[in-house]
Amino acid sequence: MNKKAIYAIIICAILAGANGLLIKSMTSLSTGTIAWFRTGIPILILIPFLWKDGELHFKGNNKKMLLASLINAARMYLYLLAYIYTSIGNTVVLFYTYPIFVTVIEAIAFKQKIERKQTMLLLLAFTGIVITYIGKPFSFQSSDFIGMLAAVGASIGYAITVVLFKAENARYSKNQMIFYQNIVGAIVFIPFLIAIPSATLPDLGIGVFYGFLIGIVVFKLFFFGLKQLSAATATTLMYLEVVSAILLGYFVLDEAITWNILLGGSFIVTSSYLISRLNKKK
């Protein structure tokens, strides 16, 4: 197993843990504006490098990649909503149900039979989701409900893009993969830039840094690792993001680490980890 690829995914996961902290700090920016910074900045940075390396001519399944990019734009908006409406702990724990959804999507798309062990792990993950939400109202008037629902939606969207991008990964360079991941979002979120004049200068600076760190650095590390490791191994290592994010929320934002986040989160992470290991053995 390639050690450099493993280290790349570990660093990627730790850096990705800062996602919620950065999102919550940009209080003067709307969700759509933050989404543009997250997708638009990587595109602006990448285009000169793609042109220099002669990579603006894409040879793979471009229709599939554009579909993945469209889904990723919707996923991105839900992901940001989740962090804005609920705690970092709630969001990151629920988002990490995505390996479970990868298993379900692959079973449906490739007509694979879900084994009994996988079914039990799916039930364990669902139990974890229920425990995580204990004590919160089921109402769209509740910010936690909106945020946690958005986190699950983002998880499903991300699972779909993992399957689509993995299928085309060998045909594209890392820069091309990041380009496709962001291009649709960079276009559809442009109208939200109308709100920039009302934003503070520090928040705009954080927005640019956020787009570069999460949109370029993190995903370049992820795609580097994904190209040399199985999807199951890469997603397993990414669980470090959960620990990183929760600790940052606790120490920097004084977010409470409740018993249901710990118990429900442990059910979800354990289920996701074990199901990834089962997929790896196939």
pLDDT tens digits, 122-132: 888 889 888 88
pLDDT band at 37 (very low <50, low <70, confident <90, very high): very high
Residue type present at position 254? D
In the chain, pLDDT over 90 holds for what percent of residues? 49
Q: Which residue in the block uniquely carries the two structure tokens 């999460």?
A: 214
Task: Answer yes or no: are the C-beta atoms of 169 and 227 closer than 8 Å.
Answer: yes
Question: Quick one: CA torsion of 54, 173, 60, 188, rounded to 10 degrees?
Answer: -90
pLDDT of 232 reads 66
pLDDT higher than threshold 90 for residue 152: yes
Q: Over 60: is that where the pLDDT of 282 sits? A: no
Mean pLDDT of the region 37-49: 96
Q: Is the pLDDT of residue 276 over 80?
A: no
Q: Is 177 exposed, middle or buried (0-12, 13-18, 19+ CB in 10 A)?
A: buried
Q: What band does 186 get if pLDDT is binned at 50, 70 and 90?
A: very high
pLDDT score at 279: 62
Give me the domain span that covers residue 106: 3-281
The whole model's pTM is what? 0.87
Output the pLDDT for position 258.
86
- Rounded-to-10 torsion of CA 217, 222, 227, 232: 180
Work out the mean pLDDT of the chain and round it to a whole number: 88
**4-32 per-position pLDDT tens digit:** 888 899 899 999 999 999 999 999 999 99
- The set of long-range contacts for 194-202, using a CB threshold of 8 Å and a minimum separation of 24, is 195/29, 195/30, 195/32, 195/33, 196/33, 198/28, 199/28, 199/29, 199/33, 200/28
Instruction: Give the pLDDT confidence score for residue 109 in this predicted structure.
Output: 81
Residue 256 burial (CB < 10 Å; 0-12/13-18/19+)? exposed
- Let me know: does 216 contact 175? Beta carbons within 8 Å: no
- pLDDT for res 69: 96
The domain total for the chain is 1
Is the torsion defined by CA of 102, 108, 112, 118 positive or negative?
A: positive
Q: What is the pLDDT of residues 49-107, one digit of tens each?
A: 999 998 888 787 889 999 999 999 999 999 999 999 999 999 998 998 888 888 888 88
Per-residue H/E/C for the chain: CCHHHHHHHHHHHHHHCCHHHHHHHCCCCCHHHHHHHHHHHHHHHHHHHHHHCCCCCCCCCHHHHHHHHHHHHHHHHHHHHHHHHCCHHHHHHHHCCHHHHHHHHHHHHCCCCCCHHHHHHHHHHHHHHHHHCCCCCCCCCCHHHHHHHHHHHHHHHHHHHHHHHHHHHHHCCHHHHHHHHHHHHHHHCHHHHHHHHHCCHHHHHHHHHHHHHHHHHHHHHHHHHHHHCCHHHHHHHCCHHHHHHHHHHHHHHCCCCCHHHHHHHHHHHHHHHHHHHHHHHC
> Is residue 156 predicted with pLDDT exceeding 70?
yes
In the predicted model, is pLDDT for residue 194 greater than 90? yes
Using pLDDT thresholds of 50, 70 and 90, give the confidence band for residue 139. low
Residue 231 has pLDDT above 80, yes or no: no
For residues 168 and 155, the model is more confident at 155
Looking at residue 57, its pLDDT comes to 81
Contact 242, 13 (CB under 8 A): no
43 pLDDT more than 60: yes
Give pLDDT tens digits for 236-256.
Answer: 788 888 889 999 999 999 998
CA angle 125–77–203, rounded 5-degree value: 120
